[in-house]
Chain A
Amino acid sequence: MTTRRTGTGESAAGGRPVSAPAGQGSTATEAVPLPGEPSSAPQAVPSGRARRERRRPPNWLLRLLTGVLILVLWDLGARMLESPFIARPLGVAQAVPEVFASERFWQDAWATIGSVVYGVLIGAAAGLVLGLAMGRIKLVRWFFTSYVSALYTLPMVAVVPLMTIWLGYTPETRLVAVALSAFLPIVVTTADGSRAIPKEYLDVARTFRARVHNIWFGIALRNAIPYLIAGLQLAIARALVTAVAVEFLAGVPGLGYSILQQTRSFQQNEAFVGVIVLTLFVVAARALLTVARRRFLPWYGR
C-alpha cells in the first residue's frame, strides 16, 4: 500500500531533497535585508551538485584588500596634510594596547554597549507586542499607525534634551532613549510581518479550526520573525547612534562621552580606538542576526 518515494516522475522533477546547510549559501552582508512578501510558492532548490559546483569568490580576500587600501589612503592623506592632530592608522594601532589595558575604557565600553543591548531588548519586547497587536487588530492599527510613523521619522536626538529634564543627566536617560529608538523600527516591521500573513496560511489554519491565539502566536508571530530580524538590524544601529548622542548631549559616562573628551584633549588616536570598538560591536551584532536568520529561517532567501 505504501508506495515509497520511488515516484518515477519525482526524481525526474529534480525532487531530491537537499539537506541545505543553513547559511552556507552566501557571505555575510551588512546591508539590512528588508523582507519582501514571503512567498509560499515552491521555490527552486539548487541541487546539491549545483551548490558544490558554484565557485565562491574569495570575498574575504577582497574585503581585506579594500580595508588595506583604505588604511593606505588614510595614511597618505594624513601625511600630506601634515597635521599632528589627525589620527593615523599606525598611531591608532599603537594606542590600542594602552587603551585596552585601561580599566576605564572597558567600563565605558560596557556602559555604552550594555545600554544598547538592554535598550534594544526592552524596546524590541515592547515593540513586538505593539507590532503584533497593530498587525492583527484593525482598531489598534488605526489608532497607532500615524503616531508610530511620525515618531519613527523623528530623530531621537531631538528629544534627548527634553528627556534630561524628566530623567536627569543619568544613564537612565540613555537607556530610555535607546529603548525608544529601538522600539519604533521593531513596531513597524513586526506590524508589517504579522499583518502580511499569506492568505494560504490562514486558509489552512481556518480549515483546521485554529483559534485566535493559534493564529497570533502560531502564524502571525512566526511570519513576523524575518521582519523582526530586519527590524533588529535597524534598531541596533539606531540604538547606538542614540546612546552616543545622549552621552554627547547629556554628559552621561560611556564610550561616546570618552571619545568626545579625548578628541577635545587631542588624544585623537585613543578616541579612534573607541570609534573602532563601537563599529565592531554593531558589525558583530548585525552579523550575528544574519547568521541567526540563516540558521533558523533557512527557507527565507538570503
Chain B
Amino acid sequence: MTRSTTGPGAAPEGAAPPPATGPRVVVSGAGVRYGDLTVFDGIDLTIQDREIVSIVGPSGCGKTTLLRSVDGLTRLNSGSVTIDGRPVEGPTPGVSMVFQHFGLFPWKNVYNNVAYGLKLAKAPKERIAEVVPEYIDMVGLAGFEKSYPHQLSGGMQQRAGLARALAVEPQVLLMDEPFSAIDAQTREVLQFELLRIWETRPIAMMFVTHSIEEAVLMGDRVVVLKGRPSHIHEVIDVGIPHPRTRATLKSARFQEVTAHVWDLLMQDVIAAEREVG
C-alpha cells in the first residue's frame, strides 16, 4: 500500500492531523458459524490508520457479518479482532457504524439522532451543543436539525446516519452498503462528499458495497471475498492517490482495477451459470 494521504487540498486548516499510527484493526483467523453454515473462515485482514478498505463479494458471503464482528455486534467462533491492539469483545468506543438501513430513530429529529452517540457516551452538554451542529453542517444537513426522518429523502437520512457515526469522532468507521438504498445520482454525490469528509479527518474505514465502481473509488485497497465458506480471495491495491474526484472515475487506473475486480467476481457467476445451464 503506497499512497499519500495528504494530496493537494486535503490539508485541513489549523493543526495538522496526528500522524498515522499503524494498524488500527487487525482481523486474524476470523471465522463465524451459524449452526451448520460456516459463513467465513480464516479471514486475515489489517486496516491501517487513515486507510479505506473496500469489501466486495457475492450476496451472502458474509460481508455484513464481518463488519458486525469488527463492530462487536456479532461474536466470532474462531480467530480474533483487535482494535488498537485490544481484542474486541463487544461494541468498542472509537468504532462507529453506518447502516444500510440508516437506523435513524423516527421519534428523534435530525439533531437528536446525530447527538445519540454522544449522549450515550455521556458527553458534556456544551460539547454536544458544539459538535452536533458541526457534523450536521458537514454532511450538508444544516437547516434540517428539527426535521424528523420521515420528512427526509433517503439520501438525507443517510447523511444524518453518517453525521451520527462521525459525531462521536471515531477512529474506525464501518460502513455497510451505506448508499445502496439511495438513487444513483444522490449516491454519487454522497460518495464524493464522504471522500471530502474523510480527507479533512482521515480515519480507518471499512466500506462494504455491492458496487465495484464504488469499492474502487472509495478504497485504498479492495478485498474480494469468495467461496463457501468464504475467504479472502484477493486484495487489490487500488493505487490511486487522494483526493479522488469525478476525474478519477475516468482514469485508466480506475478502469483497470474495476475491470480486474469485475473479472474476479464474474468468474463465479459464469461458473454458476454453466452449472445451471
Could you list which residues of chain A lie within 8 angstroms of chain B, going by C-beta atoms? Answer: 1-10, 12-20, 38, 40-43, 45, 200-201, 203-211, 214, 219, 222, 225, 297-300
| Residues 29-47 of B at the A interface (beta carbon under 8 Å) | none
B103 and A208 form a contact (CB under 8 A) = no
Q: Report how many A-B pairs have Cβ atoms within 8 Å.
A: 140
Residues from chain A with a CB closer than 8 A to the CB of B104 are 40
Q: Is the CB of B71 within 8 A of A207?
A: yes
Pick from A9, A16, A41: contact of B187, CB under 8 Å: A9
Question: Does B186 sit at the interface, judged by CB under 8 A?
Answer: yes
Q: Which residues from B are CB-within-8-Å of A211?
A: 120
CB closest residue in chain A, given B107: A222
A9-B186, A206-B73 given. 18 additional CB < 8 A pairs?
A: A4-B140, A4-B142, A5-B142, A5-B143, A7-B193, A9-B185, A10-B186, A13-B153, A13-B182, A17-B151, A40-B103, A42-B153, A45-B151, A201-B105, A203-B99, A210-B120, A222-B105, A299-B107
B106 contacts partner chain A, Cβ-Cβ < 8 Å: yes
**CB of B122, distance to nearest CB on chain A (Å):** 10
B97 to chain A, nearest CB (A): 5
User: Would you call B140 and A5 a contact (CB within 8 A)?
Assistant: yes
Closest chain A residue, CB of each to CB of B186: A9
B186 and A299 contact, CB distance less than 8 A: no
Report how far A187 CA is from B53 CA in the complex, Å. 48
B interface, how many residues as a size bin? 35 or more
Q: Which 6 A-B pairs have the closest CB atoms?
A: A9-B185, A15-B153, A9-B186, A299-B150, A7-B189, A204-B103
Q: Which residue of B lies closest to A207 (CB)?
A: B97
Q: Which residues of B contact A208 (CB under 8 A)?
A: 91, 116-117, 120-121, 168
Residue of B with least CB distance to A205: B120
What are 29 A-B residue pairs whose CB atoms fall within 8 Å in the complex?
Answer: A1-B197, A2-B137, A3-B140, A3-B193, A5-B141, A5-B156, A6-B140, A7-B140, A7-B190, A8-B185, A8-B189, A9-B186, A10-B155, A12-B185, A13-B155, A13-B186, A14-B153, A15-B156, A17-B153, A20-B150, A40-B103, A43-B150, A45-B150, A45-B151, A204-B105, A206-B72, A209-B120, A214-B120, A300-B106
